[in-house]
Chain A
Amino acid sequence: GQQLNQSPQSMFIQEGEDVSMNCTSSSIFNTWLWYKQDPGEGPVLLIALYKAGELTSNGRLTAQFGITRKDSFLNISASIPSDVGIYFCAVPTSGTYKYIFGTGTRLKVLA
């Protein structure tokens, strides 16, 4: 079936550093979303992207919809301890209601 691969799988960074992660697929999608999951909680939507090449920010987070429509990127600037968690990409695969999620990038921030 369709699959979203996220890279890196996990990362340790120092507080204050910038973080980059990506999500790739062999299929084309028209919408990309990024979620964050805090430990012990359900994922929460961070950013939604609707157009190839689109760049959207939410505070220290910036996400980009890849020009090929097969990938998306998430950057976090000046990381802080509360950025710890798992970041997932997601796409709707049928209409707007059947979502698949990526494998996740686990972020750990060292103070």
Chain B
Amino acid sequence: NAGVTQTPKFQVLKTGQSMTLQCAQDMNHEYMSWYRQDPGMGLRLIHYSVGAGITDQGEVPNGYNVSRSTTEDFPLRLLSAAPSQTSVYFCASKGESYGYTFGSGTRLTVV
């Protein structure tokens, strides 16, 4: 049972490049979320999904797109990377009980 799998673990992008951070869960969880973690700012919610085909914005959605075509996958897209998007990104999923299960993160650097 893999839980929440994020790829890649590390990525360096040039300003203006686009990329997709992948997230997959094998627990049949309905709810999935993307967070970014920056020093001193904790974890901030980017986007979340309450089921396949349903997504909504979190606290810091600008510059990011998401889609949820299946229960298992919830990719995060950066259309035009900016240095301000340098961060560690976490994907998480949960079922009906309290508590999200997190992936191990993607460390993104935009130069």
A residues whose Cβ falls under 8 Å from a Cβ of B: 1, 4, 6, 9, 31, 33, 40-45, 48, 50, 88, 90, 92, 96-104
Contacts and interface: CB of A to CB of B under 8 A. Distances in A.
Contact of B35 (A40, A101, A104): A101
B100 A45 contact: yes
B31 interface: yes
A45 to B, nearest CB: 4
A43 to B, nearest CB: 5
Question: In the complex, which of the residues A9, A31, A33, A99 has the most CB atoms of chain B within 10 Å of its own CB atom?
Answer: A99
Contacts of A33: 98-99
B59 A1 contact: yes
Nearest to B40: A103
Contact of A88 (B43, B92, B103, B105): B43
Contacts of B42: 4, 6, 88, 101-104
Given A45-B100, A48-B98, A88-B42, A99 B33 contact: yes
Secondary structure at chain B's binding surface: helix, strand, loop or mixed? strand
Contacts, number: 62
Given A45-B99, A88-B42, A97 B105 contact: no
Given A42-B92, A42-B102, A92-B98, A97 B31 contact: yes
Nearest to A100: B45
Contacts of A104: 42-43
B104 interface: yes
B94 A97 contact: yes
5 contacts: A4-B42, A33-B99, A43-B90, A92-B98, A103-B40
B41 interface: yes
Nearest to A98: B48
A103 B39 CA distance: 9
B75 interface: no
Contacts of B50: 97
A17 to B, nearest CB: 24
B66 to A, nearest CB: 14
